[in-house]
Structure 1
């Protein structure tokens, strides 16, 4: 699988039920992906259950070696994987896009291989001795989204395998080839049955989450779907890690340098054309520098090339699917109708080929506008003016989500004071959306629960066991 054609041949369906996948940049078919039913899900679960005892019996070092070999396999197939991502997701090859995602997947495997959960001595006082161990759960079900289909899959696969679980993964029905291809490459080195893939829509996902064979379900996606997963898995007391909707807020303080922060704010919002759970999706800027910040961000937007995902000059691509394109378009139109000002972007050509929506900056917008309070998940950023930091904090914290947030300013101590008052699982200072394999990540409120990444992420896919005596 060293060419794109060989990789695609390995994952296209040649028989059975299929679904045709279109490239969002061209609206042309990429190929036919398999479409699985509950019987095929049960078969995948059976393979995972059969493989799990032997996988768990390996030493920690042996499993780490497998993860490093999986990273080697990804790196050997990096360009074909990136080509497939570019076609199926629409993200360009260059910049923090397709090649970046493939490289990050390999790096995350290596970082996860380098970590392990230590045995903790809880009490050792001469009379009582107790240790805390972490054991594999069994079979983990992973349900992944369409926006970062390889990297987020790796975030779920790597820790699960590291601690001795086996995995059944269901990629989004919008981007099945990316999940299938990643697994096909990794499975070149893994024992049979350790990593399994099923393809289907929400109906198959519901069958997964209701199945008692899964000791753990990991899900990244909308809060609405997350709520259904909680309900369907409740009877089985299934452990859950839920990374749900965001609508991240950023606050720019009066002492920020507009030119210095504009680029990082723009890419914090428009990374992957705005289709990132922890992207900056609403920005509150102090009145003293409001116009300068808006203008500086708009200039960055004008200079960021958007185009076909296979064009090496592109840094922004299309929205991944027509449904999401319509959500962005509707919210921007509603903002304009309410009196908000489009500084740059807007007015997409509805008859153009591909799901392209121009990078859009919306200023002079009411803090209660739908474009502000609803997660647009696309290339549009509303910028709200404030004079009193208490108003900015109240608006930032008013929503029922809290995945990430950011504070921008020259005085770090002052920025830290504001950051401590923001209701989000992660608050960045003078950056937004940065993640690290050693730093735990998770949401608050309706943005979900459970931690990923680092040792806390390994514990989340394990069962704690106390040995007392």
Structure 2
């Protein structure tokens, strides 16, 4: 099946297509159009043409249309989930495609309810000063492949709610489900408000430098974010960049290994480890190190892994060959350097990019599996004896997206959390984001935040009006 782009509310085909294959089987899922530069120009032109009317709608009307997006996603959730599973590999069940669709609908409805009222900064005998939040214009959204539909909603809804129009580019690995969701959303929106172009190679770079795009929202790797930042500087675009992480968790000696094992597992292996804010480095106190390793291993061995269309599976394949090879290299190098395999690390030959859930013990901080973001089904577990040493090692990273502390002592947890160099810290869990709490990183993990009122503000400019 050949899919089509949506530009100005119309389905647009292309001269050229690329194949999208199921990462679990290698079978063809569909053919995705390759946009030319003229297609991007047309999408930007459509978004700019739609902007005056969309931004000029009464707030209640725009709010209602944002709720309509949530409803139409709910109405089409099962079909979208099945396509997402075939294209991405994540299971229908567990924290998989159906979960992602629920998140898309819920995030849409929550964001629709957000408001940015006029703020009165001064109102006295000297006069009245008001601060107004105004939409930026055309927002360019560049998406990753790990949570393609949910992150699309994270980009789309705040932009639209604030009165902007959007041109979206999904990852070439997961374009089909995004094309379908944008098609569905366009049934409830005015033409040109939400546009989508697809392709490989230079499309993201064209967007980053396009003079008709006023802001870029990007979720993806730090190197790509740096390229976008450089290209966007030529037109001084606004930027929100949610970039890579190498999240550390610190398990204090008072933690109960049997009680935390399940939460540790899902903190690390949600979405098969292919999550920017997943737990990627685990520091465990010497006194409970072996017990934590044992409890985690026992839990991991019972997780059903396989084709995501099988209702019994809750973990699927790695999404693409490139990432599969990265995971395999990191594990093989660690084992060669002395890491001990608790479970996994021995992929079975066959169709699909299936890599076993892997736990590595006796890992040292100088190993690449600890220094680099694995972005896959592997968790290195390191020892420590002094919490100050663990904190120093956790902070010894160029990135700072998330972190976690595992303990029964909330006072100790709070004291350590405040010293972790990252945008979010969780106590006795990891990566549990929510739509009303700002989410973003420090260091090379990005610029700005998403979610809630603070995230909505990122899609606006400030205008101060004096003398009213």
TM range, normalised to the smaller chain? over 0.9
Q: CA deviation at 1:437?
A: 0.9
Query: 1:360 corresponds to which residue?
Result: 358
Query: 1:283 corresponds to which residue?
Result: 282
CA contact (8 A) 2:3 2:32 kept: no
Q: Secondary structure at the match of 1:282?
A: strand
Superposed counterparts of 1:404-419, under 5 Å: 404-419=402-417
TM norm structure 1? 0.97
Query: 2:105 corresponds to which residue?
Result: 106
Superposed counterparts of 1:426-437, under 5 Å: 426-437=424-435
Query: 1:173 corresponds to which residue?
Result: 172
CA contact (8 A) 1:250 1:405 kept: yes
Per-residue Cα deviation, 1:151-181 (whole angstroms, up to 9, x for no partner): 0000000000001000000000111102101
Superposed counterparts of 1:130-209, under 5 Å: 130-209=129-208
Give me the CA root mean square deviation.
Answer: 1.5
2-structure distance, mates of 1:19, 1:146: 16
1:397 equivalent to 2:398? Answer: no
Q: CA deviation at 1:279?
A: 0.4
1:322 equivalent to 2:321? Answer: yes
Q: Secondary structure at the match of 2:148?
A: coil
2-structure distance, mates of 1:257, 1:339: 28
Superposed counterparts of 1:64-463, under 5 Å: 64-349=63-348, 351-463=349-461
Per-residue Cα deviation, 1:72-91 (whole angstroms, up to 9, x for no partner): 11111111000011001100
Per-residue Cα deviation, 1:409-444 (whole angstroms, up to 9, x for no partner): 011111111111100000111111111111111100
2-structure distance, mates of 1:227, 1:202: 16
1-structure distance, mates of 2:457, 2:14: 40
Q: CA deviation at 1:125?
A: 3.4
Q: CA deviation at 1:201?
A: 2.2
CA contact (8 A) 2:3 2:13 kept: no
CA contact (8 A) 2:91 2:309 kept: yes
1:204/1:455 Cα in 2 relative to 1: closer, same or farther (>3 Å)? Answer: same
Q: Secondary structure at the match of 1:91?
A: coil
2-structure distance, mates of 1:181, 1:278: 27
1:320/1:199 Cα in 2 relative to 1: closer, same or farther (>3 Å)? Answer: same
Q: CA deviation at 1:9?
A: 8.9
2-structure distance, mates of 1:256, 1:118: 45
Deviates more, 1:117-126 or 1:73-82: 117-126
Superposed counterparts of 1:37-76, under 5 Å: 37-76=36-75
2-structure distance, mates of 1:298, 1:119: 54
Q: CA deviation at 1:368?
A: 1.7
CA contact (8 A) 2:5 2:198 kept: no
1-structure distance, mates of 2:130, 2:282: 47
1-structure distance, mates of 2:5, 2:198: 15
CA contact (8 A) 1:13 1:33 kept: no
2-structure distance, mates of 1:416, 1:299: 30
Per-residue Cα deviation, 1:246-270 (whole angstroms, up to 9, x for no partner): 0111110111010111100100100
Q: Secondary structure at the match of 1:50?
A: helix
1-structure distance, mates of 2:156, 2:13: 27
Q: CA deviation at 1:202?
A: 3.7
Q: Secondary structure at the match of 1:179?
A: helix
Q: CA deviation at 1:324?
A: 0.1
Structure 1 residues not aligned, in runs of 5+: none
TM norm structure 2? 0.97
Q: Secondary structure at the match of 1:309?
A: coil
1-structure distance, mates of 2:3, 2:414: 48
